[in-house]
Each structure stands twice: as structure tokens, then as C-alpha cells.
Chains A and B, each alone.
Chain A
């Protein structure tokens, strides 16, 4: 049963600390997405990769957020430095170009 995995599932950190979230997409999928979900903003697309190349990261605050795919089995989202307003649930999703997205379980981030 192939699924997207994300680590950690929960993260509590202090303002100013670096946060790294990891995602393992489903093997064979060539698109990977990072989303942020909050009550106020809903589901926001932060970054989008195809064949490991970043296609769109316009939704991401560039000064503190970065997203990479060092290889086909790993996508990372890093926040440095973190701020309380970054508290949210971060989802990774993967898929094929012409198809639905398969979501991971999310990382709940709390920045104090």
C-alpha cells in the first residue's frame, strides 16, 4: 500500500530555531508539492517540483523558507528562522503530471 510519508508528525519549537520537514513521495511519482494549511488561510501551495526540479515556489516566503529535492525519494522544507506565524499543518503530496495528488499525513508545527 504505497503512501506518502512525512516526518516529523509533530514539531514544537521556539521562535528563531530552524525547522526541517521531510517527505518521502510515492515511488514513481514525478510531481511533489508542499502545502501549508491554517484556519485563516486555508490550503496554500508553497512549492511544486516536477522530476525534482522546482517549477513554482511563488507561494513561499523566500527569506526564510526553502524547499529542495536532493533525490527522488526525499523532499525537504526548511524554515530558518521560524516565527510564530509559521505555526500550521504542512502537507506534502505527490502524484503524476496528469492525475490526482496523494497527500501525506502532515506535520503539525507549533512555533512558540
Chain B
């Protein structure tokens, strides 16, 4: 079974600064997807960024980028130029391909507070 670990329950950052959220996972699979989801105080969960394991290039979406280290099974999220609207809980998720494709394993989340 896959496990996803987010070792930082809470983090804070000053507005306009950069912050990195950590995520490690354990799997014996070679092909899989990784995701970061954001859950703001409204509770609406939305996708931030996605990485396919077969791609060596790290995914980026505007101010959000990942550092994907497949051998180390590490998938951190970097938020640049933090904004107040980035305040949210962030979940790292793992999805294996194959027979049970589509089902994701989520970490426990990291609560990020962006301070003015």
C-alpha cells in the first residue's frame, strides 16, 4: 500500500516571500502521478499542480513549482511571491496507475498561513 507523509503540520510565510512544503511517499510502483491540492478556508479543494512520474522535468504553474526527486520519493511544493490568498491547507496526493488507477492516497495536509 502507498503512504504519503507531510511532515510539516503547519507553516507560515511572510507575504511576497517563498515557502516550500514537503511531501514524501512510499511506493514500489514505477508509474504514478503526484498532485498538490489546496483547500482554503472555504473548504473547496482545488488542484494546484500535477506531476507524472515518467517526466523528469519538474512541473510549474505560475508561482507554484515542484521539486520531484523520484529516487528519493520526494515531491515538494514551492510557492514563490506568496500571497494572502495562498493561505490554505495543502495536501499532497499519490495516484498509482494500473488496476486501481484513479484512486489517490492523500497526506495529512500542511496548513500554510501567509502573513501580511
**Chain A contacts to B: CB under 8 angstroms:** 31, 33, 42-43, 45, 48, 50, 55-56, 89, 91, 93, 95-103, 105-106
Contacts and interface: CB of A to CB of B under 8 A. Distances in A.
Contact of B91 (A43, A45, A96, A106): A43
The 3 closest A-B pairs by CB, nearest first: A103-B45, A31-B102, A97-B102
Given A42-B109, A43-B91, A43-B109, A101 B104 contact: yes
B47 A100 contact: yes
B41 to A, nearest CB: 12
A56 B103 CA distance: 9
Nearest to B97: A98
Contacts of A100: 33, 35, 47, 50
Contacts of A56: 100, 103
B106 interface: yes
Contact of B33 (A93, A98, A103, A105): A98
Contacts, number: 45
B40 to A, nearest CB: 12
A42 B100 contact: no
B28 interface: no
Interface of B: 33, 35, 37, 42-47, 50, 91, 97, 100-104, 106, 108-109
Contacts of A43: 91, 106, 109
A97 B43 CA distance: 24
Contact of A98 (B91, B101, B106, B108): B101
Contacts of B50: 100
A103 B102 contact: no
A55 B45 contact: no
27 contacts: A31-B103, A33-B103, A42-B106, A42-B108, A42-B109, A43-B91, A43-B106, A48-B102, A55-B100, A56-B100, A91-B45, A93-B45, A95-B102, A96-B102, A97-B101, A97-B102, A98-B101, A98-B102, A100-B33, A100-B47, A101-B104, A102-B47, A103-B37, A103-B45, A103-B46, A105-B42, A105-B43
